[in-house]
Structure 1
């Protein structure tokens, strides 16, 4: 029997399940289809597992710091299997939370792989479903480059890395982007010898130049070896061969980006972007086919969980013919959860100048911040990019402890159409890391007190 719904969402990641819940909250009959695990890449093999492991490494670093400052403590042994067990519990807790929300909102969860027929009938496990509207939130999978010998050796991708039961002795990470560098920071403090191999001119090329310098210095302190502009000649069972160098490994991770899952899009003959990699959508995330929307990794842009969630909300608002604002790409926060963290949004100085702005940029470090000194977390800075005449906030970078949380204070002011004056006039608690935000803003209008 053909089941009918108002909306079918294909993919239960952070874009899909959020869209499904919002539509259900608005009184729509909703089904969500998931072939793997609730929460998608982010919850199961991405954001959450990596941040859990990064927390483990931060505990190790804090123990070393405590020893240096007079608190004697010793790490006698690392039970890696217990770290994996904790990661599994974190993931399970959040997955159960999503399942509860779906049940609470009377959303039909269908497990299995979906295909869409020409008649817009959705097939799962030989069952047929019909819906007025469909949202494709099918996510992405790891991209594995054609490296000689790679297919002959055992290697991990970011989809399989967190299933590892034993701690690597020597880990090579091919890829020096955000994911690769975060995992390097997650494993090195545990005692794993980590080597990062990057083909580009530098690691973390999407990040601020000064932020990269700080991270590379910290990598040296953690004894993380990294090679840039590297050409991999071949991979063997225990070595990666570069031009003039053989790098040994016990475990190999390929973290070279992700590839959109566009099988359903191709089956529907949806229009793709100019590079034929992602589904082309309009500002409401409608594809080239009426009543078919797409969000998240399959449309490119910022392949981030929180971006996908917002895209899902915009798509649902469009389906319901509700008034809504388009997603502002310059207000999407970006983060690298290294130690120190990197957080940013909007335009950097060069991008702002290219767009014709009269740019004023200011940076202040945490070196004179009372809380940072007390925490022994003085490495890092706040950088504001503004329009010189009207003081509009164009972008920001925060590097330091809790940077990913601090950035939201600046972003909230920008989102509320505030300017540098609003950042200056806020009363910041003392001692607090966020005082440096106010100091940076003050230094743009007049001389800051602690400058």
Structure 2
């Protein structure tokens, strides 16, 4: 019952922290109230990618003629698509179970709560409570779909991402509130499967955290597949009493009432801080986040927090990196603090979006004199051969020193390409070094070299 470390929450922050701790010789346990792998593996990153792959396959089949192949009578079996997604998630969760056994990490099933003097209480599903001792405790309790005060989710017609993954049948129509990663991924999935989709976004552009050029390109690509987009708009109220939801949307031109079978709320997330002992122990929080230092220590000795519940990007790979840094520091190593300015963001709709660093607007606001290079996939041989010419690579350099300030991509498979630029920024690579690094032909990744060359007036294929 005594541990060096107990981790509360087994998402990509928690389970990675537990494994690294075990590797470093700490006697470790992990607490999980539902399924190992947390939201990411069970209800987030992984199962959504399975759904999106099914949509992509269906899209390929529907456009097989473009590739000289005739296919007749293709139809989507929505239940089978959902079943495959759940199967992928279950397989991944079993993989985490294996990793826990392999690393001799005890799994404590139940709801975890920190107590004073290095104690953790775990309440099992049957109501029984056990107490454990730990020199160190990491809180990695993650987040959940955020509910707007005036838009209550009923789980049937007004839903969050979790229900969107397991609807019993494909809806004929859907309104998506919010156009961040979750919103646009589900919009693409359902539109491709045959649902009439409308996106309602409060900000000026969809995917508002991305570079403006990326937002405009996604807008064009989505309109091509029949998605309606309403920006500078907000859902004011929903009447779900009838067969269809009547959705009142406030726009610049006045209020409109739209109808849809399903309304998906994708307006961000809320942190899971309730009931985990923060108030009792005296852990400081601010605006729904636990306050921590650069190594994730809270104000209470022996208590740490990582992932969605602390400041920083709410991304699986960020939580994993934080978990490793936190544990290595606990074990007496000297890890480098995480550079939150060099975190890649990826969105897996089609075309995909990937970015790192500053947008053009942010770079100018920061006072940089910049060089901007852009290479469209319409000029890429590989993109043309693949039938995926939408999108571009855009690179932003500091004109004085050649430092890569930001990279923004939209196109086929760009989420697999962004890591090159994350590493380039980590190594403080200059624009000329990217240009002079030979990229293989024909590939989508050549566009990175070409975009850098465009910034310096040396582009060949434009």
Q: Do they superpose with TM above 0.5?
A: yes
2:460 is the alignment partner of 1:449: yes
Pick from 240, 265, 275 the counterpart of residue 247 of structure 2. Answer: 240
Per-residue deviation, 1:398: 1.2
User: 1:16-415 alignment to 2 at 5 Å?
Assistant: 16-125=14-123, 126-147=129-150, 154-237=157-240, 238=244, 239-243=246-250, 244-263=255-274, 264=276, 265-273=278-286, 276-415=287-426
Contact 2:36 2:97 in 1 (8 A): yes
2:196 and 2:374 map into 1 onto residues whose CA distance is 34
1:309 and 1:81 map into 2 onto residues whose CA distance is 32
TM-score by length of 2: 0.93
The aligned length equals: 447
Per-residue deviation, 1:70: 2.7
The alignment partner of 1:71 has SS state of coil
The alignment partner of 2:63 has SS state of helix
Per-residue deviation, 1:216: 1.0
Specify whether residues 55 and 425 from structure 1 end up closer, same or farther in structure 2 by C-alpha distance, changes over 3 A only: same
Residues 397-406 or 225-234, more deviating: 225-234
Per-residue deviation, 1:240: 1.1
Per-residue deviation, 1:152: 11
The alignment partner of 1:127 has SS state of strand
2:445 is aligned to 434
Specify whether residues 357 and 199 from structure 1 end up closer, same or farther in structure 2 by C-alpha distance, changes over 3 A only: closer
Per-residue deviation, 1:77: 2.4
1:9 is aligned to 7
Deviations 1:294-319, CA, capped at 9 Å, x for gaps: 10000132100000000001101111
Per-residue deviation, 1:69: 3.9
Contact 2:373 2:456 in 1 (8 A): no
Query: Structure 2: where are the runs of 5+ without partners?
Result: 124-128
Residues 119-128 or 222-231, more deviating: 222-231
Contact 2:118 2:302 in 1 (8 A): no
Contact 2:175 2:263 in 1 (8 A): yes
1:410 and 1:242 map into 2 onto residues whose CA distance is 40
The alignment partner of 1:430 has SS state of coil
Aligned-pair Cα RMSD in Å: 1.7
The alignment partner of 1:235 has SS state of strand
1:207 and 1:37 map into 2 onto residues whose CA distance is 32
Query: Structure 1: where are the runs of 5+ without partners?
Result: none
2:369 and 2:408 map into 1 onto residues whose CA distance is 19
2:126 is aligned to none
1:248 and 1:75 map into 2 onto residues whose CA distance is 30
Per-residue deviation, 1:102: 0.6
1:266 and 1:201 map into 2 onto residues whose CA distance is 39
Pick from 420, 427, 436 the counterpart of residue 431 of structure 2. Answer: 420
Per-residue deviation, 1:357: 2.8
Residues 199-208 or 32-41, more deviating: 199-208
TM-score by length of 1: 0.95
The alignment partner of 2:452 has SS state of helix
Contact 1:150 1:235 in 2 (8 A): no
The alignment partner of 2:429 has SS state of coil
